Amino acid sequence: MARRRGDDVPVEEDPLADEQPDAEEEEGEGEDLFGDNMMNDYRPHPELDRYDADLIDDDEHAPMDVRDRLAAERAMAERDRRAGRRGEPRSPTPPGTPAFRTRIAAGLEASPTGSSAGGSEPSEAGATSARKRRRTAAGFSEAGGDGDPDDEDVPESYYDLTHERLSEGAEVEKRLDSKIRTNFQQFLLKFTAEGHTVPKYPDLLRKMAEEHQPHLDVKFTDLQQWSAQLALWVSDFPVQILPILNETLMLEASRKFQTYARLAEMGENELRVAVHSFPIKEPIRELCTRHISKLIHVNGVATKRSGVFNQVRRLWLRCAKCNFQKGPFEVAEEKDLRPGSCIECQSKGPWRVDRQRTIYQNYQKISLQESPSSVEPGKMPRSKEVILTGDMVDTVRPGDELNLTGIYRCLYDAATNARTCFPVYRTDIQAVHITRKGDLKLIQISDDQQQQILELAKSPNIRERFIGSMAPSIYGMWHVKSSIALSIMGGQQKICAGKHRIRGDINTLIVGDPGLAKSQFLKYVEQTFPRAVYTTGKGASAVGLTAAVTRDEQGGFCLEGGAMVLADDGICLIDEFDKMNDQDRTSLHEAMEQQSISISKAGIVATLQARCAVVAVANPTEGRYDPQRTFSQNVNLSDPILSRFDMLCVLRDESDPVQDERLADHVICSHIRSHPEANAEERNKKPKVQQKASYLEPIDQDLLKKYIVYARQRVFPKMTTVDGEKLASFYAEMRAEAFRSGGAPMTARHMDSLVRLAEANARLELRQHVNSKDIDNAIAMMLESFIQSQKHQVAEELRKKFRRYIASAAP
């Protein structure tokens, strides 16, 4: 039973020092603070009212800020740890409050799920709290240890959301808020994917800390398997639920990794949960009112990108009269900011922004347009504005094809309302997770796939199999397939001492009669290569291929990239190249050799990168290629543009009964296999040519795509002094023949082309060095291109004269 201070019990013998009072007895016989003898508590006790003067501090001290207080609390925690004390449990701070987050950052508060659910003794709770303080004071390593065992033993009933209801409103009630935090924390600790025995997300958390990333990728289907109710709330109420998940992630990361604890102490106390793989995909044109404030999944092409701005996320204010600080205020477009009165001087303003303590975040806008392939016939593609924040800024370039998961928001638009005098709201998408298609650096190759690729590269006929796998539905045309294969692989870019850059991409021009699948080759490359842009010469102007200056929404001038800018680090495919105007074709000169585009319009002087290979297709001027005429007479292209192509391919539709019969058999079998209702036997039907023992089976197309990505990411062939004399003598002889017989021009650029072709041959076989076989193959490719551009009689003479080069390159 509690005793009053007036009782004759010495302080040393107070029973409260050793044992806790019985809760029920205290409840029944509570102390009456307002009794008749209340003033006895305040009567003087001369024998007790004695104080040591050395322990009394009456000096004036400067006020402590939060940082000094945290340092003092850490020092006291360290003192308690050394003394081995088991102090009383600290009164819990409500989760979600700024004080709670500050204590988390200081390492002085444990997770709300770390304590027992009830019924535990206070001494046990105190011991647990002391253990956590000791562990936090000692500090975690950067790759932090495992979570506290108490966190993993929370009963499921304490975070089960099955029978919970989320009330419609701006805020989630505190009880449900705490339950959601516990549920997501247990998800991060315990969720195990199907077919695995180890929890999935502790490793991802550790990887996030190692790479110092401010976000954690969470798969939506994982949330569904863990808690269907939580997944439903994330999809229907992302504005309310995602901030709760973000704070919970920050709590968990700051407990395990000191890096995030320091960030939280500085105020950057929010990591981002990037939810992806949302199963319902919506076209941009079908977004409507039923999607507002819900999670959506769209895909499209980024067309425009704004600059990077600083957006206020957490605002601190100072009173302009007394300089007293007030804040922080969470800033959002849908919330009004009302600072109220100053606590110090009671004035209601004016206020000024404390720019040093205010926290900003990166902010950028992009325009996401429907993919051209997904637009219905006769309709124009629609676009939607997307907001990127934080680490997502500058991860997207115009021309990237995106898979976007975000929140469809409805915002008040004052400008539109003033113009139309009608309450109109604009909509945009707040990005949550972005995946770029076609970026070689982002494509991941698993260990099993890497093993398959390396085994494939060891086969002796890998070059022939790789070339034969180019457009396997097209019969023959070995030279064209070889040219496209080498263009896909490309050479090695080099920077000279004088800062001059030598391109590594290989440009190819295909000229031929109608009906020889020239455009089909381009479509195949577009589908196979990760980053390819397809355009036609008649439908593309000079600015459409290079860059255009347009006006933005505010009336200022901005740059928009054309097809070659969008194909940066990829391949630009141009169909009907001969139909372009001469002025438009001239604009490609700089882009094809220097691989840059210079703009000087409307006060904008800029240089854009266009580091891409060009594969162009053209038709002869008279409809069919005449072998009795020179190449320049058959094709209406100037010598400057022809000299920028590394390889020329001429396709002639000649009558050959044996080849025609094989081609017909190939086409018929292709139709039988591709029928939507074909059975297993029909799908395995092969032409007579493929039934021979000498036939090389093409590589599976999915494996072929991974092979291309692996080669371009990790193989960088180096040219040595092998057979340098052979290259020099070959170039000298070719130059002499070019001036003697006409045909395609041979310039010094073609010497660079020989080196690029040799490097592409080495990369095709995943070799880091160029050998003599690669040089022989490069010479054979260049020689075949030159011979095909000559008259028929001259071509036959050249084949006999340069037979030794062709024979040395034979497989």
> pLDDT tens-digit profile of 580-636?
877 777 778 888 888 887 877 777 777 777 888 999 999 888 888 888 887 888 888
More confident residue, 284 or 46: 284
Angle between helices 174-190 and 228-236 (to 10 degrees): 120
More confident residue, 550 or 460: 460
Give the per-residue pLDDT at 744: 66
Which amino acid makes up residue 662? R
Give the per-residue pLDDT at 656: 79
Residue 384: in which H helix or E strand, if any?
strand 383-389
More confident residue, 660 or 121: 660
pLDDT in tens, 192-214: 888 888 888 888 888 888 888 88
For 534-542, what is the mean pLDDT? Answer: 75
Q: Is the per-residue pLDDT at 351 higher than 80?
A: yes
Residue 21 pLDDT grade (very low, low, confident, very high; cuts 50, 70, 90)? very low
Give the per-residue pLDDT at 147: 43
The tokens describing 599, both together, are: 């703009």
CA–centroid distance for 690 within its chain = 42
Residue 98 pLDDT grade (very low, low, confident, very high; cuts 50, 70, 90)? very low
Question: How do beta strands 571-575 and 508-512 pair?
Answer: unpaired
Residue 218 pLDDT grade (very low, low, confident, very high; cuts 50, 70, 90)? very high
* Mean pLDDT (the chain, rounded): 77
pLDDT in tens, 41-57: 777 777 777 766 666 76
- The whole-angstrom separation of Cα 661 and Cα 650 is 22
For the chain, the first-to-last Cα distance in angstroms comes to 101
Give the per-residue pLDDT at 658: 85
How much of the chain exceeds pLDDT 70, in percent? 77
Q: Is the per-residue pLDDT at 757 higher than 60?
A: yes
Count of CB atoms within 10 A of residue 64's CB? 11
Give the per-residue pLDDT at 691: 64
pLDDT in tens, 76-86: 888 887 776 54
DSSP state of 769: B
pLDDT in tens, 352-396: 888 888 888 888 999 998 887 777 777 888 889 999 988 888 888
Give the per-residue pLDDT at 234: 92
Residue 471: how many CA atoms within 13 Å on its side-chain side? Answer: 24
Residue 62 pLDDT grade (very low, low, confident, very high; cuts 50, 70, 90)? low
pLDDT in tens, 420-448: 677 778 889 999 999 887 666 667 777 78
Give the per-residue pLDDT at 87: 46
For 480-489, what is the mean pLDDT? Answer: 91
Residue 613 β-bridge partners: 571
Which positions ≥6 away from 302 have C-beta within 8 Å?
Answer: 366, 367, 368, 369, 396, 397, 398, 399, 400, 401, 402
Give the per-residue pLDDT at 149: 41
Q: Is the per-residue pLDDT at 662 higher than 60?
A: yes
More confident residue, 291 or 11: 291
